Structure 1
Amino acid sequence: MTETDQALHAATAQIKAVRSDKSLRPTIAGFFDEATNTVTYVVHDAASREAAIIDSVLDYDAASGRTGHASADRIVEYVGDSALSVKWIIETHAHADHLSAAPYLQERLGGKLGIGREITRVQDEFGKVFNAGTDFQRDGSQFDRLFDDGDTLELGAIRGTVLHVPGHTPADMAFVFGDASFVGDTIFMPDYGTARADFPGGDAAQLFRSIRRLLSLPGDTRVFLCHDYKAPGRDEFAWETTVELQRTGNVHVRDGVTEEEFVAMRTDRDSKLGMPKLILPSIQVNIRGGHLPEPEGNGVSYIKIPVNAL
Structure 2
Amino acid sequence: MNLAPEVTGFYEKHTGSVQYVVACPETKHCAIIDPVLDFDEKSGATATIEADRLLRFIEERGYQLKWILDTHPHADHFSAADYLKHRTGAPTAIGEKVVGVQKLWKDFYNWPDFPDDGSQWDRLFADGETFMLGHIPVRVMHSPGHTLASVTYVIGDAAFIHDTLFMPDSGSARADFPGGSAHALWHSIQAILSLPEDTRLFTGHDYCAGGRAAAWEATVAEQKATNIHISRLLTEADFVAAREARDRSLPMPRLILQALQINTNAGRMPQPESNGRSYLKIPLNLLQSPWA
- Asked whether the two chains share a fold, i.e. TM above 0.5, the reply is yes
Alignment of 1:84-163 (within 5 A): 84-134=63-113, 136-163=114-141
Q: Which amino acid aligns with 1:185?
A: D
Q: Within 2, Cα distance between the matches of 1:278 and 1:130?
A: 15
SS at match of 1:58: strand
- 1:87: Cα distance to partner? 0.8
Say whether 1:299 aligns with 2:276: yes
Q: Within 1, Cα distance between the matches of 2:88 and 2:216?
A: 25
Alignment of 1:1-310 (within 5 A): 21=1, 23-134=2-113, 136-232=114-210, 234-254=211-231, 257-310=234-287
Q: Which deviates further from its counterpart, 251-260 or 264-273?
A: 251-260
Q: Which amino acid aligns with 2:203?
A: L
TM-score calculated relative to the size of structure 1: 0.91
| Contact in 2 for aligned 1:208/1:253 (Cα 8 Å) | no
SS at match of 2:78: coil
Q: Within 1, Cα distance between the matches of 2:260 and 2:200?
A: 29
Identical columns (%): 48
TM-score calculated relative to the size of structure 2: 0.96
Q: Which amino acid aligns with 1:119?
A: V
State the superposition RMSD in angstroms: 1.0
Q: Within 1, Cα distance between the matches of 2:81 and 2:126?
A: 20
| Contact in 2 for aligned 1:247/1:255 (Cα 8 Å) | no
- 1:235: Cα distance to partner? 1.6
Q: Within 2, Cα distance between the matches of 1:209 and 1:46?
A: 33
SS at match of 1:297: coil
| Contact in 1 for aligned 2:174/2:247 (Cα 8 Å) | yes
- 1:255: Cα distance to partner? 6.8
Q: Within 2, Cα distance between the matches of 1:91 and 1:255?
A: 30
Q: Which amino acid aligns with 2:167?
A: M
Q: Deviating runs (4+, > 6 A) in structure 1?
A: none
- 1:256: Cα distance to partner? 6.0
| Contact in 1 for aligned 2:233/2:239 (Cα 8 Å) | no
SS at match of 1:191: coil
